[in-house]
Structure 1
């Protein structure tokens, strides 16, 4: 028995010494033969594990690790972490790799963290690898490509402030992988024009490679094409998107998640007259069914919303309302998480049965009683109020919601209360009603809150959102005459300038704030970043301004003469009449009657009816026959006082006596 084991070990060692990269099948056979004689041989188990990994049989590799137990896992920790990563368990892979100290463990941990959507950790690890320098051939290029992918995902995860390089460099345009990653980052920042250019560059670079087979080239081009269709569709270039989509078959994509995304984008680029029931049957798929190539969370959220949109188009209102309500109730409330608020919008659309206007408003308001702190539902009702022209009710709804959150006092509720997007919504409503003082107060409160909150917390909105909020607050506060408002504006623009000294908007705001409070403290460095006055007035025609009515400055040698120039007259704007003041039968295409203000009898086209009407008209009209009486003191045509006129003989004959036999 001992000689047999020794012989097997010797043959395995001999094969290992003679092996090349193409000997994995032979290594696997020899390792199996050795394990049949000694199932606990750690050396043979390790060889089998490596061979299976080389053959991309990751599930079998994990089974070998479980059979080998802790001895094999401790000896082959790097292989264990790699097998977990490729086997679809990135969280465990990152944990195992994090216990190692060699450089290879950092690579696996970085990739596993990326796939586990811990992009911040992946960003840190690749930064460490770059700082320590490459140690093997082409390692620096691999790190650069992977770092670009991490930067793009940070943008999608709203952690773009960690990305140091926002614009693609010349080096990014030298390889199709780096150009593609730069394009993905541009898409995440909504820079679609730049993304389109980068994607075309990536395609050209991929097609120019000579060391790729045709199958490998097509495999690399397919993801780029999928992104192209998305970018062109977002830009409204439907015909170009359709042409690009016709050159690609989604079924050719090996990755299940990418294949499904391609099918969605191709359907979205199709005409709107497509059959929603057919689209529902083809595209209605759960993201969990795409494992192990599962999409990222933000992609899964979009897929779920697409599924709900197909449900609504297919008139499956009850199912959409029930499933979204269950998902919403499982999340904390209130929240500004886009995944939850988008479900609230779908839920509202399902209850309104895709209606809008007042009918939809009645149906959706009933749901607000059940979920009074649902941010998505509140925004839907605000939008419906705006569509019906009821800005006052929209403002009242937002103000009452903010008041409830303010009274609760919890930090999570206050974060929602001062969320930049919600504050911007209320400020827009105030601006629509010219309530500038209310808008200024709301912006000032939000700016003060986030200035204090950002100093002692990390779970704050993105710097981009806060930057927009601070700038809007600073500009609004500069319009105030209160010293405390101007001081707050100075503090806001001062912090923005310190964060980004090249931000001209912040520099201009700081100069304006200092000019209103302490002009002497303005430094030359503050003015250097601003556009010179000469450039600002370079395109102004002074002669044209003077001819238009600008007063000329007086000199000591020339007497002052005032010349009055009339302002250019503009045609008065037509006064808009409220619908309630318009006649019921009003027709804008018909010319109104110019005599409509006169009584009917005074209009030129009036024609009386009957004998009495004609006689009366003849008496009243100018030039008619007038019968004058000498004893009449009344106006012509009117019987004199005391005169009694009897009826004609015919009338007397027709009269019948009252009484027996007569008719009343």
Structure 2
């Protein structure tokens, strides 16, 4: 008789097989069977927690951990469940408490800690953890490339958020895998190097396609994997101003229907930004998709802010001013330091033709935020639209006065100095304009280049010299240009300015410097060929020669023949009526069909206001009653037959006789002879 096998061992064997084949639903049932036989089995409980996590049942896994395990046990699993349910603070506290225990897996907890810090947008802490992990790992380790890829992604996120990258973090590009090339490209975008970013993204596309093709991925799967690279490449095109190419790439990604909702949201938002105030209803659909609730935990804060601001701007474009204002005010409560939101609020009034109210609102914002350059510039723009240069100059002076003393480089930025000089000129203060230029020139001369991003002293000096030359201060302009030429004799612009200034004060010296200007290259001109080129003339004219009899003839304009308008029931087989242009009364077929007894000549039979007259009728003579008692007689009407032709001849003869009579009437006394006399007397009888 064969030995009886332990049921627990049999169930564990089945559980191991199900777990290796990722049959998670079956594995849960096997765990429950084991636990029904042995409720406190630690292996079965641990396996059940892992399987629940793989099934994304994170709360169920936490319930098992809290009921069956002591605090601190399965710290990694519990922290991961907190991380996935967006309870990030709890996850971080649990990780840091577990790191004190030497029995825990330190590397796994550190990687999870880095992920939690990334979700909390604590990029410096996250970057430090990944940097230390890479120092402890061997490049041949399986996890090394994944950790290194995340390390590069955090560097890009830190730069995008406005942070600065420490020199100890290696900024060197790595293109061993397409993930590394992609993350390096993101770092270049954050640094403003769009050319380098485009090059790395193209490399990432090639690496992605080749590596996935080697692993026998289908074309559809490759396109889905390429989508994130394509969207980032479209973003680079958009920043470079190649909006048509960017829109095409965004559309291609949206048509592939990728499963990553974050990627779809970013592509939709960026496409709305490309369209601006065009295709508004399509943009509204895309932004609704990008602002879904399921994206609240997947997008970082600056992405969510951008999408919400685009929603407000779209409402402004669609003339939904109340909605736009409400959204902007909600965003201001969350992001009070965002200057763009103040501009959106002011724009809602301006778009409703309330320029004064908009300017008043912006001036209020400027008082609350005196060092905000966007708000100050918006105020100046509205003031200049009203041709109020004095007020614009006052606004600029207030901004410069509000800047901290230590930020002198911002005060003397060339663009601000140029604007200040222009406003001084517009308000008739050339002396103050000159003072502003000289002060800026002295500052940059004494402070060198003002750092890597500051202007060179030569550029400020060149602006000063040009202003002096414009205001006819030739001697001073010549001194400034001479300094520039001494510093760089090859600067043709400075040499030309020096010659212009010296020509007014020292023409001889101007000729000396004129010899240093580069020579103009000789151009070979064929005079005969130039003479053969006839200047253009209008079509339809003939050029008149010196002794020619040819007359200028203008080609007559040809009128386009209009198509005839035919009636709907027109039949070309039936010839038209030749008398259709004549009035109906003159048409042959309608003659004699006038009113009875008038035009036709027929007598009205049995007609009249009270019927036919009867001989010997009533006393009233109307025939309506036989009051006299006479015997009613039957009336007989005899209709005379008249020949129509003969009747026509007779009518014609009568008309001729009447005309002859009129001619024979004698004149009876000058101008009044044709007047009718009142009363009795002789006159013409009619």
TM-score, L = length of structure 2: 0.56
Instruction: Work out which of the residue numbers 202, 205, 208 in structure 2 matches 1:203.
Output: 205
The CA deviation string for residues 584-616 of structure 1, in whole angstroms up to 9 with x for no partner, is: xxxxxxxxxxxxxxxxxxxxxxxxxxxxxxxxx
Which of 256, 259, 263 pairs up with 1:258?
A: 263
Offset at 1:177? Answer: 0.5
**Counterpart-to-counterpart distance in 2, 1:218 and 1:421:** 50
Measure the CA separation in 2 of the matches of 1:253 and 1:562. 72
Q: Is 1:154 matched up with 2:131?
A: no
- 1:444 and 1:477 in contact (8 A); partners too: no
| Separation (CA, whole Å) in 1 of partners of 2:282 and 2:176 | 43
Distance 1:243 1:315, change over 3 A: closer
- 2:359 matched residue in structure 1: 364
The answer for the alignment partner of 1:341 in structure 2 is 339
C-alpha contact 1:12 1:30 (8 A) present in aligned 2:
yes
Could you say what the CA RMSD is over the residues aligned between the two structures, in angstroms?
A: 4.7
Contact 1:230 1:265 in 2 (8 A): yes
Distance 2:459 2:175 in 1: 42
Tell me, what secondary structure is at the counterpart of 1:378?
Answer: helix
Partner Cα distance (1:117, 1:280) in 2: 29
Please tell me whether the aligned partners of residues 232 and 238 of structure 1 are also in contact (alpha carbons under 8 angstroms).
yes
Distance 1:115 1:305, change over 3 A: same
Alignment of 1:259-298 (within 5 A): 259-270=264-275, 273-274=278-279, 276-284=280-288, 287=291, 289-291=293-295, 293-298=297-302
2:221 aligned with 1:194: no
Counterpart of 1:493?
Answer: none
Q: Rate the CA distance shift 1:466–1:110 in 2: closer, same or farther, 3 A.
A: farther
Tell me how far apart the structure 1 counterparts of residues 122 and 510 of structure 2 sit (CA, whole Å).
73
Shift of residue 438 of structure 1? 4.5
- Asked if 1:429 is matched to 2:431, the reply is no
How many pairs align? Answer: 458
Counterparts of 1:350 and 1:255, CA distance in 2: 35
Contact 2:266 2:290 survives alignment (8 Å): no
Q: Within 2, Cα distance between the matches of 1:383 and 1:271?
A: 21
**Greater displacement, 390-399 / 230-239:** 390-399
Report the Cα offset of residue 88 of structure 1.
3.2
> Shift of the alpha carbon at 1:315?
0.6
Q: C-alpha separation between the residues in 2 aligned to 1:405 and 1:538?
A: 38
1:414-434: per-residue Cα shift (whole Å, max 9, x none)?
Answer: 99x889599787545335447
SS in 2 for 1:315: coil
Q: Is the 8 A contact 1:440 1:476 kept in 2?
A: no
Q: Is the 8 A contact 1:154 1:163 kept in 2?
A: no
Aligned position for 2:527: none
Residue of structure 2 equivalent to 1:241: 246
- Distance, in Å, in 1 between the alignment partners of 2:137 and 2:246 is 42
Give the Cα separation in 2 of the matches to 1:466 and 1:63: 61
Question: Which residue is equivalent to 2:316?
Answer: 312
| SS across alignment from 2:179 | helix
What is the rounded CA distance, in whole Å, between the counterparts of 2:87 and 2:282 in structure 1? 35
Aligned-pair CA distance for 1:222: 1.0
Corresponding residue for residue 381 of structure 2? 383
Alignment check: 8 A CA contact 2:52 2:61 kept = yes
Contact 1:88–1:292 (Cα < 8 Å) also in 2? no
- For 1:119-152, what per-residue CA distance to the aligned partner results, in whole angstroms no more than 9, with x for missing partners? 1111100111111123973222112111110111
Q: Conserved in 2, the CA contact under 8 Å of 1:263 and 1:283?
A: yes
- Partners of 1:563 and 1:292 lie apart in 2 by 70
Q: Deviations over 1:387-436 (max 9, x none)?
A: 55555423422443565787xxxxxxx99x88959978754533544747
Report the counterpart of residue 373 of structure 1 in structure 2. Answer: 368
* Structure 1 residues not aligned, in runs of 5+: 1-5, 407-413, 449-464, 480-515, 517-532, 552-560, 569-664
Q: 1:17 to 1:283 in 2, by over 3 A?
A: closer
Once residues 511 and 397 of structure 2 are traced to their aligned partners in structure 1, the CA distance between those partners, rounded to angstroms, is: 51
Aligned counterparts of 2:450 and 2:7: Cα–Cα separation in 1: 68
The CA distance in 2 between the partners of 1:426 and 1:195, in whole Å, is: 31
Q: Assess, with a 3 A threshold, how the Cα gap between structure 1 residues 473 and 32 changes in structure 2: closer, same or farther.
A: farther
The answer to whether structure 1 residue 82 and structure 2 residue 80 are counterparts is yes
What do the CA deviations read for 1:515-556 (whole angstroms, capped 9, x no partner)?
Answer: x9xxxxxxxxxxxxxxxx9xx87999xxx99xx99x9xxxxx
CA contact (8 A) 1:154 1:162 kept: no
1:323 correspondence with 2:327: yes
Cross-structure match for 1:227: 232
When residues 474 and 99 of structure 1 are mapped into structure 2, their CA distance, relative to the original with a 3 A threshold, is farther
Distance of 2:206 and 2:95 partners within structure 1:
37
Q: Distance in 2 between matches of 1:562 and 1:120?
A: 61
Residues 287 and 295, structure 1, Cα contact 8 Å, conserved in 2? no
Deviation of the 1:302 alpha carbon: 1.1
Report which of the two structures shows the higher radius of gyration computed on alpha carbons. Answer: 2
Cα pair 1:395 1:429 within 8 Å, conserved: no
Change (3 A) 1:68 1:440: farther
Confirm or deny that 1:64 pairs with 2:64. yes
- 1:24-75 Cα offsets, whole Å, 9 max, x none, are 5243222222344566654433211112233444454344334446x1x522
**Structure 1 residues 378-387 or 143-152, which shifts more?**
378-387
Residue 308 of structure 1 and its aligned partner are, at CA, apart by: 1.0
Q: Distance in 1 between matches of 2:121 and 2:347?
A: 31
Q: CA deviation at 1:105?
A: 0.9
Q: Is the 8 A contact 1:255 1:293 kept in 2?
A: no
Measure how far apart 1:194 and its partner are.
2.1
Per-residue CA shift, 1:230-272, capped at 9, x if unaligned? 2222323234334434533356222222211112233444596
CA distance in 2, matches of 1:98, 1:257: 30
Specify the alignment match of 2:177 in structure 1: 175
3-state DSSP of counterpart to 1:159: coil
Check the 8 A contact 1:420/1:466 in 2, yes or no: no
RCO higher in structure (CA 8 A, sep ≥6): 1
Contact 1:257 1:293 in 2 (8 A): no
Distance 1:76 1:167, change over 3 A: closer
Q: Which residue number corresponds to residue 145 of structure 2?
A: 141
1:302-336, CA deviations, whole angstroms, 9 ceiling, x for partnerless residues? 1111111111011111222233234435666xxxx
Q: 2:185 touches 2:201 (CA, 8 Å); kept in 1?
A: yes
Shift of 1:106: 1.0
Q: Which runs of 5+ in 2 are unaligned?
A: 100-105, 425-432, 463-482, 503-507, 516-686
